[in-house]
């Protein structure tokens, strides 16, 4: 049995596909303009099933009132794929691979899925010297961001786990059919994630606001 990989690249703003004789890969990129600090990553620590890891990135902001903090986040925050300034930025990438039998047919029962998350978040460097009331507002803001972003992280994990289950349950030993099914699953998860943002008004209904 030989290990072969294959993949394509997908984002919410651009779709491109690249195929090679011995390489298949897949990348799903999702940008969320309002994300929060994730304080508990225990859900990402698994010994079985899809594996996940997260990398945190920070940008510093300054300010001594809510207006200055919002202005700093708009000015210094990361850009999305449409070049819009965001408070924070979340990217998740799902990769799946499977070994192939000697005849070139995929061994989907032994497929593996990995999830990688990258998050860029604001860090308020004037926190310690700020008025106590503003500190409390910021703490409440970050708690709301965390609650909102937990929903996005959970959806990414659900997507990865659903892909792995679909691959391992696939009865047809057809790599193209498997990729087609996975793209369908990804589309549904992207819609679910967008609906989550729409229904929560980008987190506003969950308290993602500082004023």
Residues 81-105: pLDDT tens digits? 678 888 877 788 899 988 888 888 8
pLDDT computed for residue 71 by the predictor: 95
**Strand ranges across the sheet with 89-100:** 2-4, 89-100, 112-124, 51-61
Which of these, 54, 93, 57, lies nearest to 76 by C-alpha position? 57
pLDDT of residue 51: 58
Do the Cβ atoms of 28 and 186 come closer than 8 Å?
yes
- What whole-number distance in Å separates Cα of residue 40 and Cα of residue 21? 41
What is the pLDDT, as a whole number, of residue 143? 84
Query: Which positions of the chain have pLDDT values less than 50?
Result: 1-4, 6-48
pLDDT, one tens digit per residue, over 25-55 is 333 333 334 333 333 333 333 334 555 688 8
H/E run at residue 197: helix 175-199
Q: Which residue, 119, 130, 124, is CA-closest to 142?
A: 124
Reading the block at residue 105, the tokens are 């047919």
Question: Which of 105, 89, 106, 88 is closest to 97 using CA atoms?
Answer: 106
CB atoms within 10 A of CB 123: 11
For residue 143, the SS3 value is helix
Can you give the pLDDT at residue 161? 93
What are the E-state strand segments in 62-111?
89-100
Q: Give pLDDT, residue 144.
A: 84
């Amino acid at each position: 049995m030989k290990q072969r990989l294959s993949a394509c690249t997908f984002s919410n703003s651009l779709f491109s596909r690249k195929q090679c004789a011995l390489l298949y890969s897949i990348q799903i990129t999702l940008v969320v303009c309002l994300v929060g600090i994730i304080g508990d990553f225990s859900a990402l620590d698994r010994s079985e099933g899809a594996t996940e890891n997260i990398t945190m990135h920070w940008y510093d902001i300054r300010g001594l009132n809510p207006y200055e903090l919002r202005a700093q986040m708009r000015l210094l925050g990361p850009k999305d794929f449409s070049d819009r300034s965001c408070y924070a930025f979340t990217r998740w990438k799902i990769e799946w691979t499977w070994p192939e039998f000697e005849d070139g047919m995929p061994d989907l029962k032994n497929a593996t899925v990995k999830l990688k998350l990258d998050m860029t978040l604001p860090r308020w460097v004037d926190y310690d010297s700020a008025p106590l009331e503003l500190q409390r507002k910021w703490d409440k803001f970050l708690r709301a961001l965390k609650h909102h972003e937990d929903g996005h992280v959970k959806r990414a994990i659900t997507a990865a786990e659903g892909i792995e289950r679909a691959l391992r349950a696939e009865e047809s030993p057809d790599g193209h059919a498997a990729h087609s099914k996975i793209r369908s699953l990804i589309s549904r998860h992207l819609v679910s994630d967008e609906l989550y943002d729409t229904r929560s008004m980008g987190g506003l209904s969950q308290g993602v606001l500082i004023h």
